[in-house]
Chain A
């Protein structure tokens, strides 16, 4: 089967840096994605890693280590608007459907 593990909650202060880890078990690997979801809103795509290494998009970066079945999302210069749930997800197969972790609720404090 396929499963993903990520912390349930993380708290940080404005301006800080926070790292959300994700470990996964898959029968086949097609890449690791990250999505952000504000309360009552739609999941929004943040980043995708197919190969090992770091991908940077503005204040957000995502890292993947396929040998460790591990990835993380790094959020820098935290802002209040970053308070949301963050999900890591892997593709369930070549067709592209996503399997999500349970999500990490990030609370950014003043």
Chain B
């Protein structure tokens, strides 16, 4: 079975541009979460979606938005990119929105802002 897949794997943008990152969860998983990981730090929670609705939001500005589609895939959008947005963006899926099930992470999209 395929794991969590993310695209693209790498992306280079300039300040002020916008970016869309994509994630396909493990088959059967209905919950998708997005995390930002800056070099040398742990992942930081951005959003959680379950059944196409936002179920949680971390401490990120409104430039960050996301959505989940009927097939449970998800997009993360970031507008007006800043140098500080350079990071590894991770998508994680789980079967349901809560409980003790582990989150399964994709390999991430490495975003570089010039």
Chain B interface size, as a band, is 20 to 34
Q: How many A-B residue pairs have CB under 8 A?
A: 64
Q: Is the interface of A mostly helix, strand, loop or mixed?
A: loop
Mark A19-39 against chain B: 1 for CB-CB distance below 8 A, else 0.
000000000001101010000
Establish whether residues B98 and A96, one from each chain, have CB atoms under 8 Å apart when the complex forms.
yes
Establish whether residues B98 and A87, one from each chain, have CB atoms under 8 Å apart when the complex forms.
no
A44 touches B (CB below 8 Å): yes
Establish whether residues A97 and B105, one from each chain, have CB atoms under 8 Å apart when the complex forms.
no
Chain A interface size, as a band, is 20 to 34
Nearest CB in chain B to that of A94: its residue: B98
Establish whether residues A97 and B100, one from each chain, have CB atoms under 8 Å apart when the complex forms.
no
A13 touches B (CB below 8 Å): no
Establish whether residues B33 and A100, one from each chain, have CB atoms under 8 Å apart when the complex forms.
no
In the bound assembly, the distance between CA atoms of A65 and B48 in angstroms comes to 28
Establish whether residues B43 and A98, one from each chain, have CB atoms under 8 Å apart when the complex forms.
yes
Nearest chain B CB to A90 CB, angstrom units: 11
Establish whether residues B107 and A41, one from each chain, have CB atoms under 8 Å apart when the complex forms.
yes
Establish whether residues B90 and A42, one from each chain, have CB atoms under 8 Å apart when the complex forms.
yes
B-side residues, CB < 8 A to A, are 4, 31, 33, 35, 40-45, 48, 50, 55-56, 58, 90, 94, 97-108
A-side residues, CB < 8 A to B, are 30-31, 33, 35, 41-45, 48, 50, 87, 89, 92-103
18 A-B pairs, CB-CB below 8 angstroms?
Answer: A30-B100, A33-B102, A41-B107, A42-B90, A42-B105, A42-B108, A43-B105, A45-B102, A48-B102, A95-B50, A95-B97, A96-B33, A96-B101, A96-B103, A98-B35, A100-B42, A100-B43, A102-B40
